[in-house]
Chains A and B, each alone.
Chain A
Amino acid sequence: MKESQRYLQGNTGNWELVVGLEVHAQVISDAKLFSGAATAFGAPPNTQVSLVDAAMPGMLPVINRQCIYQVVRTGLALGAEVNLESVFDRKNYFYPDLPQGYQISQYAKPIVGKGEIIVDLEDGTSRRIAITRIHLEQDAGKSLHDQHPTKTFVDLNRSGVALMEIVSEPDMRSAEEAGAYVRKLRSILRHIKTCDGNMEQGSMRCDVNVSVRRPGEPYGTRCEIKNLNSVRFLMRAIQCESARQIEVIENGGRVIQETRLFDPDRVETRLMRSKEEAHDYRYFPDPDLLPVRLEAEWVAQLKAELPELPNEKRARFVQQYGLTLADAGVLVAEPDRADFFESLAEGRDPKHAANWVVGELLGKLNKTGVELFSAKISAIQLGELIDLIHDDKISGRIAKQVFDEMFETGKDAVRIVEERGLAQVSDEGELDQHIDQILNSNSDKVAEYKAGKEKLFGFFVGQVMKATNGKANPKLVNRLLRGRLSN
């Protein structure tokens, strides 16, 4: 990276940005971390609450095996150490959506230790970001502040759902790196199916620590910005928080360590009032839970059973299908996208298949905001469309038109081509008629062409395509025209 891009420009010189992230990822499990209540999103209020989650007196937590399985797999996918003994602690604080008065979390002995994520940047370089730890903890309930002018409504359905808190080292140096880190982490979690990564529904949220320093100096004082629920907001929050800190220091002030909130409407961070008083969580080991002890053989078995991870898959796509690293990277970012491509590429030109997925399909999904899993067009259907082009039944241009309709209606390509009469015209007689007409009515251009202005060839092709509404078989048109114009 160039010097000028690596640093932020202040009025008094360069500043280096330092970013660390804490990502809360909701574990995919049917039941909660310590109770048998369901975890599904969007149920009516307080219907997925056991008396454990509501912290009724005398209730005791019993850990869900699946949640341990999921967090260990996550650690393994991030190349991390798995601690064969870990301990649950109580993190004490009061809030209406935390009925226990403490969160069961992990502190001194988390289940997963140091690991790393390799993030890929837009300029094609990659960076290694160290993971400090991953611990397992309970989610809190949900507070609704907009139901009543003076009241807060509390729904405990989310209370007790398992979360993985994935903590990074302060290894990121730009908002772009932080964004790439979250996207890569989400991609890995989705590949191994330990978190759905759905930030809009809150199943993945992040807190970011931001500080600035002069290049080469020790770390500056950091501020934490809480609860960012999209990659875009994360990047914007880092940008405006670092600008704020630089301004404070350059105006002779000092950055104060504090917790802040990002306001996306005003594009600024502001102090979170409830956190002004420094939190003292008074962690201590939860006496209701014994330490978690894992068998080394079990961990080794989970490691052996991990599915192909995004970077491995990307390398395979480059090797097996001859794709560019960039295209392969786009395809493996989401597991369902990679699967879609692979079933499309089977028995077809893989580069052609990749172009359709990366260019047309993803373009369309982005534009319409539709997710691939809910798109109306299947890999089989798109494959049939590609086959029509390959078999010269329709032209590439018409195919894009057909694709648009398939995407909208979910109809098969063959049916759309039939209904709309879009089949490619490969009848030489019919094309000859069009060519006759065009050459006759453009005799001046024919003369120019024959006099050496060969660029006009494209004009004649264009006219034939126009006369046939784009349906003429371009290869055939080329051949017929060449024949007619050469004598």
Chain B
Amino acid sequence: MALKKEIVAQIAKLARLEVDESDLDLMCSELSQILAWVEQLEEVDIGSVPPMTSVIEMDLKFREDVVTDGNQADDVIANAPERDHHFFVVPKVIE
């Protein structure tokens, strides 16, 4: 499937990636090739094969409902570019 430039630009926007207009053509052809490859894979009938969710057979691990973490507000916000009273501070996003 050949992707249009607008679709690629939209995908980049949704992923918050800044893509230069001049790079779009290259991206278009690369992404289209990947999709073409996936389409080729889809030719194989796997209707009777359950999806593989793990390389080795194992079960989901559970945690018990016990509070074991937290009380580290300083660490949590340590990398924040801006902070105030232990809040992360970001540009206003109100509706």
One of A94, A96, A156 near B76 (C-beta < 8 A): A156
Q: Say yes or no: is A257 at the interface (Cβ < 8 Å to chain B).
A: no
**Given that A44-B73, A94-B16, A147-B87 are known contacts, is A36 also in contact with B93, CB under 8 Å in the complex?**
no
Instruction: Give the 8 A-B residue pairs with the shortest CB-CB distance, closest first.
Output: A36-B68, A66-B65, A50-B69, A36-B69, A153-B87, A154-B88, A290-B60, A46-B73
**Interface presence of A217 (CB below 8 A):** no
Contact status A293-B60, CB under 8 Å: yes
The reply on A243 being an interface residue by CB < 8 A is no
Q: Is the interface of A mostly helix, strand, loop or mixed?
A: loop
The count of chain A contact residues (Cβ–Cβ below 8 Å) is: 53
Which positions in B face A, CB cutoff 8 Å?
Answer: 10, 14, 16, 51, 53-54, 58-73, 75-77, 82, 84-95
Q: Does A151 lie within 8 Å of B69, measured CB to CB?
A: no
Are B69 and A37 in touch, CB under 8 angstroms?
A: yes
Q: Known A62-B61, A152-B90; judge A30-B66 contact (CB<8 A).
A: yes
Check if A45 sits within 8 Å of B61, measured CB to CB: no
Measured CA separation A67–B10 after assembly (Å): 36
Which A residues from 351 to 376 make CB contacts under 8 A with B?
none
A-B contacts, 13 listed (Cβ < 8 Å): A31-B69, A36-B69, A46-B77, A47-B86, A52-B69, A63-B63, A64-B64, A148-B84, A151-B82, A154-B87, A154-B89, A285-B51, A290-B59
Q: Within the assembled complex, what's the spacing in Å between the Cα atoms of A471 and B89?
A: 65
The answer to whether A145 and B58 touch (CB under 8 A), given A47-B86, A48-B70, A65-B64, is no
A252-268 contacts to B, CB under 8 A, are 261
Q: Which of A114-122, A127-135, A272-280, A384-392 contacts B (4 or more CB under 8 A)?
A: A272-280
Q: Are A47 and B94 in contact (CB under 8 A)?
A: no
Specify which of A36, A274, A280 is in contact with B95 (CB 8 Å cutoff). Answer: A274
Q: Are the C-beta atoms of B61 and A144 separated by less than 8 Å?
A: no
User: A-B contact count, CB below 8 Å?
Assistant: 134
Q: How far is the CA of A31 from the CA of B72 in the complex (A)?
A: 16
Q: Which residue of B lies closest to A38 (CB)?
A: B67
What is the CB-to-nearest-CB distance from B74 to chain A, in angstroms, rounded to a whole number?
9
Using A37-B67, A62-B62 as known contacts, list a sample of 13 further A-B pairs with CB atoms less than 8 Å apart, ordered by residue number in A: A30-B65, A31-B63, A36-B66, A47-B70, A54-B76, A62-B61, A63-B60, A64-B64, A65-B65, A156-B88, A261-B95, A274-B95, A292-B60
Chain A residues positioned under 8 Å from B71 (CB to CB)? 47-48
User: Once bound together, how far apart are the Cα atoms of A248 and B91, in whole Å?
Assistant: 36
Kindly provide the distance from the CB of B66 to the nearest chain A CB, expressed in whole angstroms.
Answer: 6
Which B residues are CB-close (under 8 A) to A274?
A: 95
Q: A219 interface residue, CB < 8 Å from B?
A: no
| Contact (Cβ within 8 A) A62 B90 | no
For the complex, give the distance between the alpha carbons of A68 and B65 in Å. Answer: 11
- The reply on A29 being an interface residue by CB < 8 A is yes
A148 in contact with B65 (CB, 8 Å): no
Residues of B within 8 A of A249 (CB): none
* Least distance between A57 CB and chain B CB atoms (Å): 10
- Given the known inter-chain contacts A38-B70, A46-B73, A145-B93, please indicate yes or no for A289 contacting B87, CB distance below 8 A: no
CA distance A23 to B22 in the complex (A): 45
